[in-house]
């Protein structure tokens, strides 16, 4: 990088004021190897900075605003150009944020009952148990029991991923009215202490690109929602390549302002291709 022959040097007071950070933050950045003053007086210890140092502080503040911790920022700077792992982690965070925003938006716009999109499902280890149920209410009670049992069995829950269900009919028929019994599997995301293959009830679901449908309302919309979901897959000529997940409890809706009997439901199925329709 080219610099003028004479560069103006700023005291730490001037520099911290210009960058909008405290002196303590500048010192900590220096201790973490994220900032090197252009000059340090060997006798007084006074630090002096230039405009290039201000750009370094700006990059640090940008990454903080993106939600990165100080240690994550330090890891990024020390990777010396090998940013593959860093990019993978940030893409996963972005996918999670996009998923949560979709869920919030459909509840905010309550008149729009259905929406469809593609999303990235992360690899997830789940505590899984199955049972035959005959109604949405019975399924809901079964999921509560499975969730409770996973805690009793000593598993550490993965709270950033939602509980989901699998069904022997892949949710190709709705759940409204008189429903014939179906076998459902409750999948509770957990963080295993060791190998998932060595623990009872644990199944690892691989990361996948999935087609997703969102619906907002009460139990009476589920029948239409399931039908619309599979109609949309046929219309887009998509090719499912995994089990269909039904997510009936989404974290943004677990609060005291949730309207009784009004929920956000999601169906997601891994697909081999992604339509541009």
Please give the structure tokens belonging to residue 63: 């990454």
Strand partners for 208: 121
Q: How far apart are CA 92 and CA 87, in angstroms?
A: 9
Average pLDDT over residues 202-212: 93
Q: Judge contact between 139 and 187, C-beta under 8 A.
A: no
Quote the distance between the C-alpha of residue 158 and its chain's center. 11
Please give the structure tokens belonging to residue 116: 């469809």
Q: What is the pTM of this model?
A: 0.71
Closest by alpha carbon to 104, among 7, 24, 216?
216
Please give the structure tokens belonging to residue 237: 């000529």
pLDDT in tens, 214-270: 988 877 888 889 999 999 999 999 999 999 999 875 544 455 555 656 778 899 999
Domains (ranges, CATH) in the chain?
Answer: 10-78 (1.10.1660.10), 91-270 (3.20.80.10)
Q: Which of 42-56, 70-84, 172-186 has the highest mean pLDDT?
A: 42-56
Q: For residue 115, what are the contacts with CB-CB under 8 A and spacing of at least 6?
A: 102, 106, 213, 214
Residue 252's pLDDT is what?
Answer: 46
């Amino acid at each position: 990088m080219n610099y003028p022959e004479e560069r103006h040097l700023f005291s730490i007071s001037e520099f911290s004021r210009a960058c909008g950070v405290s002196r303590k933050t500048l010192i900590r950045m220096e201790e973490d190897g994220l900032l090197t003053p252009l000059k340090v007086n060997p006798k007084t210890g006074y630090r002096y900075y230039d405009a290039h140092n201000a750009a370094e502080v700006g990059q640090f503040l940008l990454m903080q605003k993106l939600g990165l911790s100080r240690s994550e920022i330090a890891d990024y700077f020390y990777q010396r150009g090998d940013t593959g792992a860093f990019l993978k982690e940030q893409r996963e965070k972005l996918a999670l944020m996009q998923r949560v925003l979709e869920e919030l938006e459909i509840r905010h716009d309550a008149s729009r009952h259905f929406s469809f999109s593609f999303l990235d499902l992360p690899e997830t280890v789940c505590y899984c148990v199955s049972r035959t149920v005959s109604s949405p209410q019975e399924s809901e009670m079964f999921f509560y029991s499975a969730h409770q049992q996973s805690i009793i069995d000593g598993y550490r829950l993965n709270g950033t991923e939602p509980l989901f269900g699998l069904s022997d009919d892949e949710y190709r028929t709705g759940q409204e009215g008189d429903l014939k019994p179906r076998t459902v599997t409750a999948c509770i995301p957990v963080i295993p202490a060791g190998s998932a293959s060595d623990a009872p009830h644990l199944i690892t679901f691989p990361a996948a690109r999935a087609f997703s449908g969102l619906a907002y309302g009460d139990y009476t919309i589920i029948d239409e929602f399931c039908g619309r979901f599979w109609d949309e897959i046929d219309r887009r000529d998509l090719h499912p390549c995994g089990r269909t997940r039904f997510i009936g409890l989404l974290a943004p809706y677990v609060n005291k302002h949730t309207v009784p009997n009004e929920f956000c439901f999601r169906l997601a199925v891994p697909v081999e291709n992604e339509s541009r329709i």
